[in-house]
Chain A
Amino acid sequence: QITLKESGPTLVKPTQTLTLTCTFSGLSLTTRGVGVGWIRQPPEKALEWLALIYWDDDKRYSPSLKSRLSITRDTSKNQVVLTMTNIDAMDTATYYCAQCRGDYGDYLDYFDPWGPGTLVTVSS
């Protein structure tokens, strides 16, 4: 059974750096064809994809947030860390991590399963 769980601060002040950790089990981020992504959802709004890290440490970012995001992995701890700099109120959201996988070799094309999410509020 694959599980993922997000952790990090629930309240962050504007201009600070947000660090979120996704701890997973049942999957190996060194296995070909596996990735872990971050997706966020502001209150009452739609899902927004943020970043993805692949089994070979390749990374993809949302272009609109690329300058503020960093995604890394710690394979020994089964963790993926997302860092977002210069936080502001617009970053208030529930942040989810999810496994990205696919049935056609290196082509990863869906997210399953998802973690329960962690709500991050940005306020002074």
Chain B
Amino acid sequence: QSVLTQPPSVSAAPGQEVTISCSGSSSNIGSNYVSWYQQLPGTAPKLLIYDNNKRPSGIPDRFSGSKSGTSATLGITGLQTGDEADYYCGTWDSSLSTPWVFGGGTKLTVL
């Protein structure tokens, strides 16, 4: 079981928007920055969002991140078939049970 809880799957139609939640606790999300990673099938993860809501160069503004309390959310608008991937949240955990933690991942299906 991951320390960070994500829904196993989400789906939406092309052009629609979707949100992926990442729920943690005061020792991880509640006190640290959250990053999000996109893993396309058969490829390595790629940074999508860092510091809760910042996008690296080259990431379209269809992708957004937010954090409130002990939860974080990834938003994707204008869904494209190329967005079908697994998405992971990650952050430090100050409790030291595991210094760095990833969520269990969410499979996005674009119907």
A96 touches B101 (CB 8 A): no
B44 touches A46 (CB 8 A): no
Instruction: Tell me how many residues of A have a C-beta within 8 Å of chain B.
Output: 25
The stretch of A15-23, A59-67, A68-76, A80-88 that contacts the partner chain: A59-67
B51 touches A47 (CB 8 A): no
Q: Helix, strand, loop or mixed for chain A's interface?
A: strand
Interface size range of chain B in the complex: 20 to 34
**Assembly CA distance A102 to B50 (angstroms):** 9
List B82-109 residues whose CB lies under 8 Å from chain A.
Answer: 88, 90-92, 96-105
A109 touches B45 (CB 8 A): no
**Assembly CA distance A28 to B50 (angstroms):** 21
B99 touches A109 (CB 8 A): no
Of the candidates A46, A109, A112, the one whose C-beta lies within 8 Å of that of B102 is A46
List A29-75 residues whose CB lies under 8 Å from chain B.
Answer: 37, 39, 46-49, 52, 60-64
B23 within 8 A of A: no
B: residues with CB less than 8 A from A are 2, 32-33, 35, 37, 43-47, 50-51, 56, 88, 90-92, 96-105
A-B contact pairs, 17 of them (CB 8 A): A48-B102, A49-B90, A49-B102, A52-B99, A52-B100, A60-B100, A62-B99, A63-B97, A64-B98, A96-B45, A103-B51, A109-B33, A110-B90, A111-B90, A112-B56, A114-B47, A115-B44
